[in-house]
Amino acid sequence: MREQVRRAFAVCPIEVGIAVAGGDWKLTIVSKLAEGTHRFGALQRAVGPVSAKTLARQLQALEEDGVVLRVAHAEVPPRVEYSLTEAGVELAKIGEALGRWSAAYLPEPEPVGVLPAADDASLGA
């Protein structure tokens, strides 16, 4: 378990959860792994615009906190597969809930330059 997580225990369980899941990309990584085992490269493409360094670090942190499982195959070229532990599966559900929450309560900002479609009313009498 990481030091950051250990320190959060002194405060409250919610902060522990934030310490584990709070970093950028982390819950997205977990939600992608909830769909199935991914290799490193596939995961990077699935998650979005995340750098390899950051993805690797977040995966290490998640592994150390018991959320993801890492299996390296001794092959050439190398193949490393990531999946969820039981704790990870449960955490993924919370991630899904958070995604639903933001979709429900935070209106997507209109992209700049996109005008609302004209309808009959806007054409006047």
Binding site for its own copies (CB under 8 A): 1, 5-6, 9, 11-18, 20-28, 31, 48-49, 65-66, 86-87, 90-91, 94-106, 108-109
Nearest distance, CB of residue 56 and DNA, angstroms: 4
Nearer to DNA, 55 or 92 (CB): 55
Query: Which of DNA, its own copies, none is residue 83 near (CB under 5 to 8 Å by kind)?
Result: none
Nearer to DNA, 34 or 80 (CB): 80
Cα 40 vs. chain centroid, distance in angstroms?
A: 14
Query: Which of DNA, its own copies, none is residue 80 near (CB under 5 to 8 Å by kind)?
Result: DNA
Q: With the CA atoms of 31, 34, 36 and 41 taken in that order, what torsion angle do they form, in degrees rounded to the nearest 10?
A: 30
Triad 49, 43, 61: Cα angle to 5°: 90
Nearer to its own copies, 42 or 87 (CB): 87
23 binds DNA (CB under 7 A): yes
- Mapping DSSP to helix (H, G, I), strand (E, B) and coil, where does residue 39 land? strand
Q: Which of 34, 42, 69, 87 touches DNA (CB under 7 A)?
A: 42
- Mapping DSSP to helix (H, G, I), strand (E, B) and coil, where does residue 83 land? strand
DSSP assignment, residue 75? -
CA pseudo-torsion sign 34, 39, 42, 45: positive
